[in-house]
């Protein structure tokens, strides 16, 4: 059971990192192709990348804490 949870957490962590990288590449490409759209906004063009990064960091931190708890429980058994 703990091994499956660890495996699922690895998939979740990898998925969130991949989505964040993909979003960053897309926003960079969109900024390079449509800079006038981003000039109208009051926020910098990379704001959504930072927001996705913060959410990803929180989810990764939670997953790492859960993985640490799993590791401690498997050492006790």
Phi/psi of residue 34, nearest 5 degrees: -130, 65
Q: What is the predicted pLDDT for the residue at 77?
A: 67
Give residue limits of the domains in the chain: 2-76
pTM to 2 decimals? 0.84
- Give tens-digit pLDDT for 21-73: 999 999 999 999 999 999 999 999 999 999 999 999 999 999 999 999 988 98
């Amino acid at each position: 059971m703990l091994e499956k949870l660890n495996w699922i957490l690895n998939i979740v962590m990898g998925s969130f990192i991949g989505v964040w990288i993909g979003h960053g590449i897309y926003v960079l490409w969109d900024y390079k192709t449509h800079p006038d759209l981003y000039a109208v906004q009051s926020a910098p063009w990379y704001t959504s990348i930072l927001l996705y990064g913060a959410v990803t960091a929180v989810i990764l931190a939670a997953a790492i804490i859960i993985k640490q708890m799993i590791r401690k429980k498997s050492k006790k058994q």
